[in-house]
Structure 1
């Protein structure tokens, strides 16, 4: 039996699929700037306002919790109202997020800052579904490339976020970082015209009627289990390391600008390879590229443990971003093989809930481990998780070579 990783993708995308993918890529650029601002500044702002050092990353954890717990409600909203109206709600949440976070910093209210970043997570629950929206609107042979096209938008999100931070941080010197969060709200506002230009079929036309297999049955299939595991570990480990890095850099005597530029390079590495990741998956297979991505996360930790210069921190962030790109896009592409059209809303929501729930745990744990064990411990923890996922992916690859891909009939 032919494995899905051996299927050739040769057909050209339909104009409508291409147009939607480009629009969603632009939305990803705007939506991707929001988490970049939260991650780059959330820990530093939290450090100023928190009562104890180990609570510094709680704003980032609040963001991750909003993202995790927002995935299922977002899926239900989009299933009932359609993706376009759902994305309007998401953009409004993004605007509220920036304004609430800025208000928390202005009022020196740590809880209000965390509420704002929680709203940013709820916004990102909609943003994260852009990749599935592009895949669902595309022909099967274009799905992997459509996902990669959308992820390219994150490349520009990194640039938007970094430049926003650099040009707004001194606007309001008495209230550090507040202006950046106000800019975050303005960026979310810019998404609304693009959302309204989307041409995505309404829920009934998109085959979202009841039916299909039970979710528990789908969740037991080997390909889904391994795909979700790869997505969880790729994203959670990336977040675990990325959350701690700005704190480690500042703690080692590097400047906030150095840390911000490091996050910019990291996010560029996260999304830049998307220009060719889709083609690499088509050529070498989803499992092979996912294995490469997870292995690169382990390499990033080795670079981090080799020194504390800017080059070591930036090298770690760049390799980590590249590993996330291959690992997460590969895992997402694997998930799209696991469901029928009428099952997609439930399966996508379950996948994202598991992925981003794990990310929330990782971001909170990062601050705790950093405060108690230091930068070296943060990196050493990663290796066992990398090993487990590599073994699971290798097992699935061997299983599917022998036959029985576990794809929906």
Structure 2
């Protein structure tokens, strides 16, 4: 009977993974629209002083960071399906508010609209965790990998939406694309409503009802495995944000065209999410730690290419390696994190993880603009080396402690 229950549960997990992938592809495409047009629209709305033009993009990042923990805790109370449905609402409202702000010529309303879009992005971060809520270990890992692959499609849907809808509400610039973003939010909401909440395994049911939230976060966060997982996730995401944000500016500064920069970012996004179709299988075969190490090695290779030249090929290869490194490092670290918490603790642990990861990415993004105008592109790539070394040291420390503990038990 237990075997039958496991088979049925795995079947439901696989079905949910397909729904989550589709919802991720649609809902996650809204943020690239905001990032692509946020600075341009800010520049358009401001008067003579253009120094705050990128503030709307910053607002979206802050909105995501501040909402990560509330989003995770809300889902732990009302379930994944209702949580994702509610999570699509800020994107819809944000898109409509952006249209209104552009029609009214209000910069601060536009900033508020992208803050709402960012809030919805925090719920999108929960897709990968929803894939590993239940099921056998192999099925959970492959499900998470499939869900992450939805991000590859969002990288195509978002930019193409900008291209095909920017003139919808002409002559008001950019308004048509944000109306399309609101429509995408509605579609994503409908897809998310198809999700089925997977009941916890019977062995865990009583514990979920009686555990009163599990261990304190301070206890969980002191685990070496937790520290290594979060640090590797932060490193992967922050380095990706740092180098990716600076790359287009560096390319333009080196005499390349905006089209060259746009194509470089497109290949980067495809490299970020494309490997997700098989990353889960690689984790099952080689283990989480080795995949994270491979991701860190790819980040180092990315930095080496970035330092050695400033031709178009150097920039594009740098961005592609950056995408691969982020994929292996971030997905591997997410799988590692799942080992550190009990089912009743998942909401607060996942929320804390995403808050730290997105907070570090926002900081890296802000620093990127200052560094590219100061020390420059080569210095930005040099930052990769010490950060990777710190992550690998934490991973080795965690591995050594686990191995020592295993010997003591034996």
- Fold agreement, TM-score > 0.5: yes
Shift of 1:200: 0.5
Structure index of larger Rg: 2
Q: Deviations over 1:258-308 (max 9, x none)?
A: 333322211111111011101111111111111111222222222223333
**TM-score if structure 1 supplies the norm length?**
0.88
Q: Deviations over 1:34-78 (max 9, x none)?
A: 222233333444455567676454333222211111011112322
- Does residue 126 of structure 2 align to residue 129 of structure 1? yes
Q: State the alpha-carbon separation in 2 of the partners of residues 274 and 350 from structure 1.
A: 24
In structure 2, runs of 5+ residues without a counterpart are 1-6
Q: State the alpha-carbon separation in 1 of the partners of residues 329 and 42 from structure 2.
A: 30
Judged with a 3 Å threshold, the aligned counterparts in structure 2 of structure 1 residues 98 and 248 are, in CA distance, closer, same or farther, namely: farther
- The answer on whether the counterparts of 2:170 and 2:176 sit within 8 Å (CA) in structure 1 is no
Pairing of 1:8-407 with structure 2 (within 5 A): 14-48=10-44, 55-169=52-166, 171=168, 174-201=171-198, 207=208, 210-404=212-406
Structure having greater relative contact order (Cα 8 Å, sep ≥ 6): 1
Aligned-CA RMSD value: 2.8
Judged with a 3 Å threshold, the aligned counterparts in structure 2 of structure 1 residues 329 and 110 are, in CA distance, closer, same or farther, namely: same
Q: State the alpha-carbon separation in 1 of the partners of residues 371 and 52 from structure 2.
A: 11
Judged with a 3 Å threshold, the aligned counterparts in structure 2 of structure 1 residues 192 and 265 are, in CA distance, closer, same or farther, namely: same
Of the structure 1 ranges 211-220 and 241-250, higher mean CA displacement relative to structure 2 is found in: 241-250
Q: For 1:305, what is the secondary structure of its paired residue?
A: helix
Q: State the alpha-carbon separation in 2 of the partners of residues 140 and 283 from structure 1.
A: 12
Judged with a 3 Å threshold, the aligned counterparts in structure 2 of structure 1 residues 103 and 75 are, in CA distance, closer, same or farther, namely: same
In structure 1, runs of 5+ residues without a counterpart are 1-10
- The answer on whether the counterparts of 1:158 and 1:264 sit within 8 Å (CA) in structure 2 is yes
Q: Deviations over 1:178-231 (max 9, x none)?
A: 332222221111112211111104799693662422211110000001100111
Q: Deviations over 1:312-331 (max 9, x none)?
A: 32222211111110000000
Q: For 2:197, what is the secondary structure of its paired residue?
A: coil
Shift of 1:253: 4.4
Shift of 1:336: 0.3
Shift of 1:355: 1.0
Q: Deviations over 1:1-59 (max 9, x none)?
A: xxxxxxxxxx9972111100110011111122122223333344445556767645433
Q: State the alpha-carbon separation in 2 of the partners of residues 257 and 105 from structure 1.
A: 26
Q: For 1:308, what is the secondary structure of its paired residue?
A: coil
Q: For 1:260, what is the secondary structure of its paired residue?
A: helix
- The answer on whether the counterparts of 2:146 and 2:277 sit within 8 Å (CA) in structure 1 is yes
Q: Deviations over 1:374-393 (max 9, x none)?
A: 33333333332122112222
Judged with a 3 Å threshold, the aligned counterparts in structure 2 of structure 1 residues 98 and 255 are, in CA distance, closer, same or farther, namely: farther
Q: How many residues align?
A: 396
Q: State the alpha-carbon separation in 1 of the partners of residues 69 and 45 from structure 2.
A: 31
- The answer on whether the counterparts of 2:224 and 2:397 sit within 8 Å (CA) in structure 1 is no
